[in-house]
């Protein structure tokens, strides 16, 4: 075969191979792209996003807003909520802003952690809030029911004698069974000697948890207590002093679980008194010091005599509180618990150190030294404290990290209030209320952020005489509306 024929044959073979090589090249490039895209999809599906140093694990944000129709911004950029969640966020610090028409904007600094879901409850308050007079009598004293269903108040100085007395006023309906009960009930009139001897600041009312009974404590000239029926008019002539029933002097009492039991406190003795059986049970006795105790639902928490253990009284018996692997620090001097809580406890020792413990999570946290606890939320997961010399308020909140089954404590200092002198939590624990300088009332998140002034008066708000319903939609406060008269006013926290 000639050389020319060999060359031609080679050329033909080369030409035949070119399409094959081209197809192979296209297939390889396509496969590489598909593999890259598949890898990217897998990375994105697993929460990874490109960052400064390669792909990073992202985090998610859940926003639980009230009202529901809101706009959400992260660092000024509007983000959409999908089933309440903003997903695929690069870990780091963000400014979360939530807005809605006719509401005051809400803002908070948050941190997104890789692989975790940050949950934020957002409560917006309307821009326009109206102060409405709720009573027309000269109210001297008021107190909220634990269920937020009623307000109990006292009228001693009135133009008409029919207005004088102790009253119960319904403000919400907690049960359909209460639909037909009276909205306003007069519990005492103004004719009895006991009522006429009441002096401002020298008595208090304590409703039972089920609002069946009312405990009246008169502090001068000596401490005396009376138990009133909270559903009908009482005749003081038929009411016996609690000390007469017990056979010894009483310094103070409070309800234990329901309206059938009282926890009675004297100088050295703590006892449970069953009103139906007229029977007392010793809870704790000490010859050297006053018992240190706190009540949560139907349980009484106490420091033992040695000061190294926490005990509790329940169902007629005293038991040691089992703390698991937790160890108490120092000799205990004070206890603090929420009103509806069996897990979260605060204690102070003889070194003025205050600790927060959660028994279920086996968690203990030391708060700043030399503080005074001002308020604790119902479930005990949040508390407000102040330095022993006064100053700014600080809110401690214990949040559960569900992914790890652990707790995280965050502290937030409220620094812009003038003379904050009274603070409380709403019944649900979602809001904190602060009275500052006896004239301004603020409401904010339970950690003290987003504080909003909702009331201000030159004449003053009666310290301690205010409250908020459990749903945080209505605030009730006692305001001096003239130089001699004061009345209950309401502030709606829903848009007009």
**pLDDT tens track for 148-164:** 789 999 998 887 888 89
Residue 47 burial (CB count, 10 A): 17
308: pLDDT strictly greater than 90? yes
- pTM score of the predicted model: 0.82
Q: How confident is the model at residue 220 (pLDDT cuts 50, 70, 90)?
A: confident
Residue 4 has pLDDT above 70, yes or no: no
Q: Is residue 32 part of a domain?
A: yes
Please count the residues of the chain: 496
Q: Which of 134-138, 166-170, 420-424 has the highest mean pLDDT?
A: 166-170
Per-residue confidence band for 10, with pLDDT thresholds at 50, 70 and 90? low
Residue 193: C-alpha distances to residues 188, 214, 237, 380 (Å) = 12, 19, 9, 42
Note whether residue 258 is domain-resident: no
H/E segment holding residue 18: helix 3-45
Same domain, 100 and 118: yes
72 and 92 housed in the same domain = yes
Judge contact between 323 and 299, C-beta under 8 A. no
Is 114 inside any structural domain?
yes
Give the chain's end-to-end CA distance (angstroms, integer).
104
Q: Give the pLDDT confidence score for residue 267 in this predicted structure.
A: 81
pLDDT at 84 over 70: yes
| Strands, E assignment, 84-140 | 85-89, 92-99, 106-112, 117-123, 131-133
What percentage of the chain carries pLDDT values higher than 70? 86
In angstroms, the CA 387 to CA 365 distance is: 17
pLDDT of residue 203: 93
Lowest mean pLDDT among 15-19, 215-219, 232-236: 15-19
Residue 111 is assigned to a structural domain of this protein:
yes
Give the residue numbers spanning the domain of 103: 54-123
Of the candidates 87, 107, 123, which is a domain's last residue? 123
Burial (Cβ within 10 Å: 0-12, 13-18, ≥19) of residue 297 = middle
Q: Does the pLDDT at position 211 exceed 80?
A: yes
Do 98 and 84 form a contact (C-beta atoms < 8 A)?
Answer: no
Bridge-partner residues for 311, per DSSP?
302, 320
CA distance 232 to 188: 8
Please give the backbone phi and psi of residue 187, each rounded to the nearest 5 degrees, phi first.
-95, -30
The residue among 103 and 424 whose pLDDT is bigger is 103
- Going by their DSSP bridges, the two strands 431-436 and 420-425 should be labelled as antiparallel
Is residue 155 within 8 A of residue 164, CB to CB? The reply is: yes
Q: What is the pLDDT of residue 43?
A: 46
The residue ranking higher by pLDDT, 268 or 38, is 268
255 belongs to a structural domain: no
Looking at the structure of the chain, the number of domains it has is 2
Domain with 106 in it: what CATH number? 2.60.40.10
The C-alpha atoms of residue 235 and residue 240 are separated, in whole angstroms, by 11
Rounded-to-integer distance, Cα 421 and Cα 287, Å = 35
Mean pLDDT of 170-199: 73
- Widest CA span in the chain: 141
Q: Does residue 61 share a domain with residue 36?
A: no
Please state the rounded mean pLDDT for residues 327-352. Answer: 93
CA distances from residue 211 to 145, 184, 448 in whole angstroms, order as listed: 7, 13, 31
Distance CA 128, CA 451 (A): 16
CB atoms within 10 A of CB 26: 10
Question: What contacts 460, CB < 8 A, 6 or more positions away?
Answer: 438, 439, 479, 480
Give dist(CA 87, CA 83) in Å, integer: 10
Confidence of residue 49 (pLDDT cuts 50, 70, 90): low
**Which range among 107-121, 298-312, 349-363, 412-426 shows the weakest confidence by mean pLDDT?**
412-426
Q: Are residues 109 and 61 in the same domain?
A: yes
Whether residue 252 is contained in a domain is answered as no
pLDDT at residue 176 in the model: 43
Nearest by Cα to 46 from 61, 30, 57: 57
326 in any annotated domain: no
Residue 385 maps to a domain: no
Q: Which of 9-23, 70-84, 438-452 has the highest mean pLDDT?
A: 70-84
Q: Does residue 45 carry a pLDDT above 90?
A: no
Q: What pLDDT was estimated at residue 33?
A: 62
Rounded to whole angstroms, how far apart are CA atoms 169 and 205? 14
8 Å CB contact between 423 and 440: no
- pLDDT over threshold 60, residue 18: no
Return mean pLDDT, the chain. 85
Percentage of the chain surpassing pLDDT 90?
49
Examine the domain organization and report whether 39 and 80 are in the same domain. no
Please write the tens of the pLDDT for every residue from 397-433.
Answer: 998 887 778 899 999 998 778 778 788 888 777 888 8
Confidence of residue 29 (pLDDT cuts 50, 70, 90): low
Is the same domain home to 117 and 82?
Answer: yes
Is 60 found in the same domain as 32?
A: no
The predicted pLDDT at position 179 comes to 41
Tell me: do 78 and 107 sit in the same domain: yes
Please indicate whether residue 59 or residue 37 has the higher confidence score (pLDDT).
59
Alpha carbon separation from 116 to 57, 90, 153, 184, 397 (Å, rounded): 9, 11, 49, 51, 19
């Amino acid at each position: 075969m000639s050389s020319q024929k060999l060359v031609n044959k080679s050329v033909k073979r080369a030409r035949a191979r070119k399409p094959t090589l081209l197809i192979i090249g296209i297939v390889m490039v396509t496969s590489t792209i598909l593999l890259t895209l598949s890898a990217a999809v897998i990375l994105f599906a697993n929460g990874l996003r490109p960052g400064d140093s390669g792909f990073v694990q992202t985090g998610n944000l859940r926003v639980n807003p009230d009202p529901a129709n809101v706009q959400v911004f992260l660092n000024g950029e509007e983000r959409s909520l999908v089933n309440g969640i903003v997903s695929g966020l690069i870990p780091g610090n963000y400014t979360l802003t939530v807005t809605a028409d006719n509401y005051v904007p809400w803002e908070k600094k948050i941190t997104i952690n890789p692989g975790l879901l940050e949950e934020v409850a957002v409560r917006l308050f309307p821009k326009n809030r109206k102060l409405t007079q709720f009573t027309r009598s000269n109210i001297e004293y008021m107190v909220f029911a634990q269920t937020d269903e009623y307000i109990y108040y006292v009228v001693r100085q009135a133009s008409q004698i029919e207005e004088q007395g102790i009253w119960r006023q319904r403000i919400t309906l907690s049960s359909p069974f209460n639909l037909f009960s009276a909205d306003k009930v007069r519990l005492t009139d103004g004719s009895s000697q006991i009522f006429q001897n009441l002096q401002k600041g020298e008595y208090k009312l304590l409703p039972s948890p089920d609002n069946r009974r009312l405990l009246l404590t008169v502090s001068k000239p000596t401490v005396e207590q009376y138990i009133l029926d909270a559903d009908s008019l009482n005749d003081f002539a038929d009411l016996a002093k609690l000390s007469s029933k017990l056979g010894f002097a009483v310094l103070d009492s409070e309800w234990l679980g329901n309206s059938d039991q009282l926890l009675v406190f004297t100088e050295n003795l703590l006892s449970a008194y069953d009103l139906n059986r007229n029977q007392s049970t010793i809870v704790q006795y000490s010859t050297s010091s006053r018992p240190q105790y706190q009540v949560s639902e139907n349980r009484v928490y106490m420091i033992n005599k040695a000061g190294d253990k926490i005990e509790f009284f329940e169902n007629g018996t005293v038991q040691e509180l089992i703390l698991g692997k937790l160890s108490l620090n120092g000799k205990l001097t004070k206890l603090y618990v929420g009103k509806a809580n069996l897990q979260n406890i605060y204690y102070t020792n003889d070194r003025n150190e205050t600790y927060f413990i959660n028994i279920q999570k086996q968690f203990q946290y030391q708060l700043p030294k030399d503080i005074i606890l001002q308020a604790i939320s119902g479930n005990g997961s949040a508390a407000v404290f102040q330095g022993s010399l006064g100053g700014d308020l600080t809110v401690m909140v214990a949040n559960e990290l569900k992914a790890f089954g652990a707790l995280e404590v965050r502290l937030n200092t409220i620094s812009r209030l003038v003379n904050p002198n009274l603070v409380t939590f709403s019944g649900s624990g979602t809001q904190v209320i602060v009275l500052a300088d006896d004239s301004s009332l603020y409401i904010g998140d339970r950690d003290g952020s987003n504080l909003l002034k909702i009331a201000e008066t030159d004449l003053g708000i009666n310290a301690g005489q205010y409250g908020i319903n459990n749903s945080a939609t209505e605030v009730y406060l006692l305001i001096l509306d003239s130089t001699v008269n004061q009345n209950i006013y309401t502030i709606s926290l829903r848009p007009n």
